């Protein structure tokens, strides 16, 4: 979803669902977790690790994924909050 393409009706639906839901849906699930997965796959590839079942048992992989998920989720929440505020300013001040 892009702020510039959101209609007033869409904004009313988004706002009715709540800011917390929006931040979790778009910040964590939409940006944080996918970026953590991409980060992990790229770095495992660059390290030359084989993608097999033993990878799921490696503690360092899970620790790296957890750290990446937290950091990317925080970044996703911050950017989603900025989008929320931009939509608030766009639609609430225009009333």
CA dist 40 and 25 (Å) reads 21
Predicted confidence at residue 69, as pLDDT, reads: 97
CA dist 37 and 82 (Å) reads 23
pLDDT tens per residue, range 24-62: 999 999 999 999 999 999 999 999 988 888 888 899 999
Share of the chain above pLDDT 90, in %: 72
Residue 12 has pLDDT above 60, yes or no: yes
**Which sequence spans correspond to the domains of the chain?**
3-92
CB 66 within 8 A of CB 45: no
Predicted confidence at residue 4, as pLDDT, reads: 63
Predicted confidence at residue 74, as pLDDT, reads: 98
CA dist 81 and 69 (Å) reads 18
CA dist 33 and 35 (Å) reads 5
Question: What would you measure as the largest C-alpha separation in the chain, in angstroms?
Answer: 58
Residue 13 in tokens: 């639906």
């Amino acid at each position: 979803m892009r702020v510039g393409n959101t209609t007033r009706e869409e904004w009313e639906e988004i706002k009715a669902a709540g800011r917390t839901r929006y931040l979790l849906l778009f910040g964590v699930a939409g940006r944080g977790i996918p970026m953590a997965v991409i980060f992990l796959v790229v770095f495992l590839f660059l390290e030359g690790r084989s993608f097999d079942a033993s990878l799921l048992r490696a503690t360092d992989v899970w620790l790296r994924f957890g750290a990446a998920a937290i950091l990317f989720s925080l970044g996703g929440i911050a950017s989603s909050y900025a989008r929320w505020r931009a939509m608030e300013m766009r639609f609430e001040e225009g009333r």
